Every structure is written in structure tokens, then in C-alpha cells.
Chains A and B, each alone.
Chain A
Amino acid sequence: MTAPSTRALASRALRASAQQPRWRRALVSTAYFVVPLVVVIGLWQLGTMLNKNPFFPQPFAIIANLWKLLFGSEKAVQDVFVGEFLMTVGRMALGFAIGAAWGVVIGTLIGLNRNAREVVSPIVEFLRSIPATATLPLFIILLGGGDDMRVVFIAYGVSWFVLINTAAGVGSIHKTMLDVGKAFRVSPARRLFAIILPAALPKIFAGLRIASTAALLLAIVSEFMLALNGIGFSLVVAQSKFNLLTMWSWMLALAILGLIVNSLLEFIERRVLAWHRLSRQKV
């Protein structure tokens, strides 16, 4: 095996970087994170200070306004934080939980039985092709404009991602694994929880990650129509008042919220699927 020179160089570079003290590598990656942000925000701040544009407020004003919106109102302390921000989070979380549970249960049932899968797959394929948000008027007609409608709507939209991934994960388990379970006379319930679901877990989590992004989107959309509170509602109110600064602030809040949800799910996934990565590495 004669490795090309660049390969050798690369591996040497890798070793060199591994020999670098840890604090130094941490410093470099922090710098990579902080410096571009500071530069861009600084340029934006400078640009908006020199050239005032109503559509692009100053970034510091956006941050300050968000802080004031969420925590600083004099009349009712933390009213907005609870009444708007947490309302959206609550709807999203509840809808996500119901939709994910429903998706996992139905997806497992479909995935376990090949015949069932073939019977329902055209129906599933069609129903999930209906853009979830296009069904919002239907949900409003059926269930009214209340919060229960919103949660059901989010759950409905979210469930497809989980259902399809679960069915695919359960359906693609190697037959040997199932046969081993049968050979050892493992009870069906234990086979489900100890063999089938763990094997399908990586795929299920992939579905959950997409679903969490969708849940936030659907929550916002559902609050655009007939809502009385929530981030989506606040955005519409700010729009009707031409309050661009507040709209930017809510967008920042959404970015932070999305970031938190993503990292939370990633954290859980790393915890739950640690065994999976280890087993992959050894093979």
C-alpha cells in the first residue's frame, strides 16, 4: 500500500492537530463560531446606523426589543412570555407528542405486517402528499377555532413523518433478528419492546427530527388563523400595526426556539442511540 503524498500529509496534519492542546482546539472552534457572528452583526449594526431603513432595524434594537417583549413589560410582568411564547411552545409540544405517539404506534403496526403495508401504502402515500397546511381550513370547519383544533392539526401534520419512518424502520429489520427472538421463545410483547423497536429507533429518530421542525412551522401557521395568542398571532398583530421591529424580534425568538428544540432532540438522540453508534463502530 503506497499512500499518496497528500494522504500522508493529511494524516500527519491530523496527528499534529490531535497533539495540539485541547484548550487551543476549543479556542479555535469558539473563534470560528463567535467571530463571524460578531462581524456580521457588527456590519449590520453599522449599515443600519448609517443608512436607516424601516425594513431592516438595528440588530441591537431587535435583541433589546425581544428582551423587553418577553420579560420587561411594566404592566404585567412576564405576561407576554407566558401568554404568547409559552402558548406556542405548549401547543407545539403537545401536538408533537400526540402526533409522534400516534405515528409510532400506527407505523409499527404497518411495518410489522407486509400485507398490511401493501394494502395501506397507496392511501398513506396520498394522504401525506396533501400539504399539511392545506388541511387547516378543514380542521377549522371540523373542530372550530380553538386550541384543541390547533393541537390536533399539529399532531396530524407531524404524524406522517414519524409514521413513515417507523414503518420503514420496523419493516427493514433483518429477519434473522426476529427469528432469533422466536427461537428463544421470547414473548411477543418483549419481542416488540426489546428487539423490534430498538432496531427501528435510529429511523424513528430521523423522523422525529424532521417532525420537530414541522411542529414549530405548523404551530405558527395554526396561530395565523383565528388565534388569540401565540407567536404566530403576535406576528400578525405586529404586521397589522406595521411594527417591523417587533416582527424581527419574534423571528429571533423563533430562531432561538428552533435551536433549543433541535439541540434538545439531538441530545436525547445521542443519549438513547449511544449503543447504536458503538455497535456501528465495532463492525
Chain B
Amino acid sequence: MTATSPRRSSRRFNAGTLWRGLAGVAGLVALLEIVSRSGIIGTTYLPPFDAVLWRALQLWVDPEFLANVGQTMLTYLLGMLIAAVIAIPLGIVFGLVNPVYRAARALIELIRPIPPVALIPLVLLALGNGLNMKLVIVVFAAVWPIMFNTLYGVHDVDPYQKEMGRSFGLGRFAIIRRIVIPAASPFIMTGVRIASSIALIVVITVELISPGGAKGIGAYIAAQQLSYQDSAITYLAVLAATITSGVLGLVVNLVIGWAERRWFAWDTTAKDGV
């Protein structure tokens, strides 16, 4: 049992793991609290930890902050959706028709290494500061992992299964729909998981760099950085907002990881198909 599914057994929580994890968190919190209270580092740079936590909690009832979270999540979700709609069909075509992939490869290899954030100044000029601009950059960032993982998934489909479909009289598209896509879906999900964390980073980066028009958590953090005279308060506000963005990232990661295990746990190769 454990030999065949080491991953899954390690995923299962046991009480010891949980307690040790909690002990680690509690230890860190205590350490931060003691160090920050003692004033070794200076309260400007390390504000009392309970103040940071309190500030971070207060953010969740601040309507202005929540509106920014909503904007970030909207951009993230729309971007992921558009990226999936572009990348999955492309990946399937590239995976099934090798000459097309070989022909497209030179271009892909040249476009892919461009950091998505480098597009910001150009797209900002072309589309102005708003949702469209953010979406273009997020989609550019999220397309690659989904496309390549779809491609690997399609390559990984058992040829005998396609053979069988053909002998049962399935047409080309029926084979894609009934055999190729289901078999490749764990890989596609892996691509979505990788793309998701990249997309969130890119959304927040875009908001951070082009504040003013665009709203979102990144813009909120940037505004906090500029809005106070007192450096201690500024620092506290920025720290709290940054930690809160981590909570958001954690929630997104957990949801996607949960969905992957819930719906695609039947496939053991999915976890290694990065």
C-alpha cells in the first residue's frame, strides 16, 4: 500500500504532524513577539507582532481593502479562465500533431523566456491602466504552464486506448473528447496549479507597479507605502497588507490542491508531471 502510493499516505494528516506544525507556528509567533517587544532590532523595523496581526485582521473588515481583494481575485480568475481556453486546445493540437509543434517551437522558445512583467510598460501604453492591461499580462504568464502540461499529458495517452476507440468506430473528435482529454486531464490540472500561483504573483506585481488606475492588493500595498509620514506606521501597514496577500495566496493554493486531489486523485502520474 505505502509502496504504491507514498505521496497519498504522506498527505494524510496525523495528530503528531498537526501538533508539530502548530508548535512551529506558535514558537515563531512567540519568538517574534519577544524579539519585537524587547526592542533589540528597533520597533520601526520590527513592530510588535501582535500589532501587525491585529492590523492584518482589521484589514478584513475594511471595505476599501476588500474592494481591492475583489479586483485582484476577479483579474486572477478571468485571467486563468482565458489562459485555459487558449492553452488547452493549443496543447492538444501540439500534442497530437507533431509537425505543428515542431514548427511552432522556435517561436515559443523565443517568446516564453520574456518575463511577463517586462510587458507591463508596453501594454500599459497600448491599453491604458485597467482590467484589460492586467488581463493581457496575466494570460501571457499563465498560458505556458497549462499549454506544456497539456502537451505532456496528450503525449502520455496510451496509444492502445486511442486504437481501441478507433476500432469502436469513434471519429477523430470523439477520440479527443472521450479518450485524449480525460487521460490528459491530471496533467492539465497540474499545469493549472502551476499557472495559478504564477498568475497570482503577476496580478499583484502589475498592480504594484502601475498603481493609480488599477485597483487591487498590489495597488493597496503601494498606496500604503506612500500614504503615511511616520515610517513606523507605514511599515506596520505594509507588513500587514503583505501578510494578508500571503493568506490569500495560501487559500488559493489550498483550494487548487484540494480540487486536484478531489477530482484527479485517481491518477498517480499527475503528481510527477511537472
Most chain A CB within a 10 A radius of its CB, from B20, B104, B112, B113: B113
Q: Does B189 belong to the interface (CB within 8 Å)?
A: no
With A37-B107, A141-B234, A255-B114 as known contacts, state yes or no: A206 contacts B16, CB within 8 Å.
Answer: no
Q: Does A32 belong to the interface (CB within 8 Å)?
A: yes
Q: Does A125 belong to the interface (CB within 8 Å)?
A: yes
Q: Which of B253-272 contact A (CB under 8 A)?
A: 253
With A4-B163, A120-B24, A239-B122 as known contacts, state yes or no: A262 contacts B250, CB within 8 Å.
Answer: no
> For B24, what are the chain A residues with a Cβ–Cβ distance below 8 Å?
118-123
What per-residue 1/0 map shows which CB atoms of A28-72 lie under 8 Å from chain B? 010011111100100000000000000100000000000000000
Cα distance, A270 to B141, chains bound together (Å): 27
Stretch from B78-86, B89-97, B147-155, B198-206 that touches the partner: B198-206
Stretch from A96-104, A130-138, A179-187, A273-281 that touches the partner: A130-138
With A119-B23, A121-B21 as known contacts, state yes or no: A137 contacts B242, CB within 8 Å.
Answer: yes
What per-residue 1/0 map shows which CB atoms of A243-273 lie under 8 Å from chain B? 0100110110011011101100000000000
Report B73 CB to chain A, min CB distance, Å.
13
Stretch from A19-27, A77-85, A193-201, A213-221 that touches the partner: A213-221
Cα distance, A248 to B126, chains bound together (Å): 13
**Cβ-closest chain A residue relative to B45:** A142
Q: Does A225 belong to the interface (CB within 8 Å)?
A: yes
In the complex the two chains form, is A32's CB within 8 Å of B242's CB? no
Partner of A118, one of B17, B163, B225, B238: B17
What per-residue 1/0 map shows which CB atoms of B220-248 lie under 8 Å from chain A? 01101100000100110011001101110
Q: Does B168 belong to the interface (CB within 8 Å)?
A: no
Partner of B116, one of A36, A120, A217, A248: A217
Partner of A259, one of B27, B103, B113: B113
In the complex the two chains form, is B209's CB within 8 Å of A221's CB? yes
Cα distance, A134 to B125, chains bound together (Å): 23
Partner of A4, one of B27, B118, B160: B160
Q: Does A140 belong to the interface (CB within 8 Å)?
A: yes
In the complex the two chains form, is B242's CB within 8 Å of A130's CB? yes
Cα distance, A213 to B105, chains bound together (Å): 19
> For A261, what are the chain B residues with a Cβ–Cβ distance below 8 Å?
113
Q: Does B70 belong to the interface (CB within 8 Å)?
A: no
In the complex the two chains form, is B115's CB within 8 Å of A254's CB? yes
Q: Does B170 belong to the interface (CB within 8 Å)?
A: no
Q: Does B191 belong to the interface (CB within 8 Å)?
A: no
Report B10 CB to chain A, min CB distance, Å.
9
Most chain B CB within a 10 A radius of its CB, from A55, A121, A131, A244: A131
> For B200, what are the chain A residues with a Cβ–Cβ distance below 8 Å?
131
Report A209 CB to chain B, min CB distance, Å.
10
> For B214, what are the chain A residues with a Cβ–Cβ distance below 8 Å?
none
Which range holds the interface residue count of chain B?
35 or more
> For A259, what are the chain B residues with a Cβ–Cβ distance below 8 Å?
109-110, 113
Report A244 CB to chain B, min CB distance, Å.
7
What per-residue 1/0 map shows which CB atoms of B19-41 lie under 8 Å from chain A? 01111110110000000000000
Q: Does B48 belong to the interface (CB within 8 Å)?
A: no
With A134-B221, A251-B122 as known contacts, state yes or no: A36 contacts B104, CB within 8 Å.
Answer: yes
Q: Does B218 belong to the interface (CB within 8 Å)?
A: yes
In the complex the two chains form, is A138's CB within 8 Å of B201's CB? no
Cα distance, A238 to B205, chains bound together (Å): 19
> For B112, what are the chain A residues with a Cβ–Cβ distance below 8 Å?
258
Q: Does B111 belong to the interface (CB within 8 Å)?
A: yes
A interface residues, tally (CB under 8 Å): 62
Please classify the interface of chain A as helix (H, G, I), strand (E, B), loop, or mixed, using the class held by over half of its residues.
Answer: helix
Report A214 CB to chain B, min CB distance, Å.
9
In the complex the two chains form, is B242's CB within 8 Å of A138's CB? yes
Report B224 CB to chain A, min CB distance, Å.
8
With A134-B218, A141-B231, A142-B45 as known contacts, state yes or no: A221 contacts B117, CB within 8 Å.
Answer: yes
With A132-B201, A259-B109 as known contacts, state yes or no: A125 contacts B209, CB within 8 Å.
Answer: no
Cα distance, A29 to B253, chains bound together (Å): 40
In the complex the two chains form, is B25's CB within 8 Å of A123's CB? yes
What per-residue 1/0 map shows which CB atoms of B155-167 lie under 8 Å from chain A? 0000110010000
Q: List 11 A-B contacts (CB under 8 A).
A: A35-B103, A122-B25, A123-B25, A125-B250, A130-B242, A138-B235, A231-B118, A254-B115, A255-B113, A258-B115, A259-B113
A: residues with CB less than 8 A from B are: 4, 6-7, 29, 32-37, 40, 55, 115, 118-123, 125-127, 129-138, 140-142, 206, 213, 216-217, 220-221, 224-225, 231-232, 235-236, 238-239, 242, 244, 247-248, 250-251, 254-255, 257-259, 261-262
Given A217-B117, A225-B209, A251-B118, output 11 extra A-B contacts at Cβ < 8 Å. Answer: A32-B102, A37-B107, A55-B126, A118-B17, A118-B20, A122-B22, A131-B200, A133-B205, A137-B222, A255-B111, A259-B110
**When A and B form their complex, which 9 residue pairs have the shortest distance between CB atoms, in order from nearest?**
A258-B113, A130-B246, A129-B249, A239-B121, A119-B24, A118-B20, A217-B115, A129-B250, A133-B205
